[in-house]
Amino acid sequence: MGRYAYSRQLQDGLIVTGMRDRISWGLYITTFVFFIGISHAGTLISAILRVSQARWRTPITRMAEFITVVALVCGAMFVIIDLGRPDRVLNVIIYGRWQSPIIWDVLAITTYITASVAYLFLPMIPDLALFRDRLAGRASAWRRWLYDLLSVRWQGTPLQWRSMHAAITTAMILIIPIAVSVHTVVSWIFAMTLREPWNSTIFGAFFVAGAIFSGIATLIIVMAVLRKVYHLEEYITEKHFVYLGYLMAAFTLIMMYGNISEYLVTGYKMEEGAEFHFRQLFLEQFAGFYWFYFIGGLVVPGLLILLPWTRNIWGIVAAAVLVDAAMWVERYFIVVTGFRVPLMPYDPSSYAPSWVELSVVAAGFALFALLITLFVKVFPIIAVWEVAEDLESAEFVPAAGRLPSGAAPEPAGGGN
């Protein structure tokens, strides 16, 4: 359906969408911003927790890194879809100007994709070598070839371990500022314009916080699904959900603070255009979206995590689903309400997504799920060597152990 819808768009042009001259961004840019946001899952869990040496992260690191790479690919795809004609991507290279936030965005996202792929690949090398050696006679020829190629002749020598640790350290330190810069620059595409609702100095920080927030939520959902499907209860425990839930609860507070700070300051001055925006956002056309986002996406998830009765896997997954839905809705009303505030004395325009946009966006989410599934089928879903290291430390520090004594980590999700 999504492919047919996109073929219609390619054939007839963007006229088949609900976007017009006054509201020229809609579902596609909303989904682009959302996907770039959830890509921060990998950076947060994998890089920040690795830097801070939080050892509980090890079983979920790889999933977070998968999400990052897949979300970036899907997000970048939506920008190309939004262009109408994909060949116009070349115009960015041919006619791009260094002074344009669009160029900054292209640079930031391409750098982030490259760094994320490197950061996914590096810690996976020992596990790929494990697959290469253990599945030598069992895997199909193409998979053997793939593991052989990607394991880069890993033999586990001290020199190789040193080189790998050095590369991971460099990448994890580098990827944090890159990730922060990516969502800051995405916010600048809006904030560098003179449109009333986007004319904000905290947009960058607000977007980065929102990105990490939705990234954690997506990670919790993916963790819950993979845990169930691949029976990873032994490795991914309630403790992982609760710890991630605490992080998410902290971000509900940060997001509430951002909302209050932004709207109180703007509303107190109530410059031209702000009144129109406040009416459409809080009372009229977009009030349903906004209040769902604030109450359903910030207040309720915070309560689900903080109240002891719901602080369990189901409660935290429910909170994560609400957060992801609300963050997508937040991106939607940021994009559309910004364009709706009239710049000149004309009647405000309206936007309603067409079936083509809805189908393409649904296909985008389906592609996200498909790519995660394919990754999980082919590559080790859990960082085996890191979990093994954890087990070794657990032998010396029993209190730190979470896995049952003697439980050998096995590649889950792939290898058979």
* Contact stretch for another protein (CB under 8 A) within 61-69, 112-120, 261-269, 300-308: 112-120
Nearer to another protein, 113 or 208 (CB): 113
**x/- site string to another protein, residues 124 to 163, per CB under 8 A?**
-x--------------------------xxxx-x-xx--x
Q: Is 336 in the site for another protein (CB under 8 A)?
A: no
Nearer to another protein, 11 or 155 (CB): 155
Segment 42-101, which members bind another protein (CB under 8 A)? Answer: 98-99
Instruction: Indicate which single residue of 104, 203, 286, 379 sits in contact with another protein (rule: CB under 8 A).
Output: 104
Q: Is 99 helix (H, G, I), strand (E, B) or coil?
A: coil
Give CA 14 to chain center in angstroms. 27
Q: What is the DSSP letter of 413?
A: S
Instruction: Indicate which single residue of 92, 102, 174, 242 sits in contact with another protein (rule: CB under 8 A).
Output: 174
CA dist list (Å): 99 to 25, 93, 102, 180, 271? 22, 13, 9, 20, 28
Compute how many other C-beta atoms are within 10 angstroms of the C-beta atom of residue 64.
27
Q: Is the dihedral of CA 260, 261, 266, 269 positive or negative?
A: positive
Place of tokens 């096995």: 410
> Phi/psi at 222 (nearest 5 deg)?
-65, -40
Q: Both tokens of residue 118?
A: 């490197």
Segment 242-301, which members bind another protein (CB under 8 A)? Answer: none
Amino acid making up residue 403: L
Q: What is the largest CA-CA distance in the chain?
A: 73
Give CA 377 to chain center in angstroms. 21
Nearer to another protein, 15 or 374 (CB): 15
Instruction: Indicate which single residue of 10, 15, 166, 407 sits in contact with another protein (rule: CB under 8 A).
Output: 166
* Contact stretch for another protein (CB under 8 A) within 73-81, 111-119, 271-279, 284-292: 111-119
* Contact stretch for another protein (CB under 8 A) within 118-126, 193-201, 284-292, 382-390: 118-126
Instruction: Indicate which single residue of 114, 201, 350, 393 sits in contact with another protein (rule: CB under 8 A).
Output: 114
Compute how many other C-beta atoms are within 10 angstroms of the C-beta atom of residue 111.
15
Nearer to another protein, 152 or 295 (CB): 152
Q: Beta strands of 204-248 (E only): which ranges? A: none
Site for another protein, rule CB under 8 A: 98-99, 104, 107, 111, 114-115, 118, 121-122, 125, 152-155, 157, 159-160, 163-164, 166-167, 170-171, 174, 178
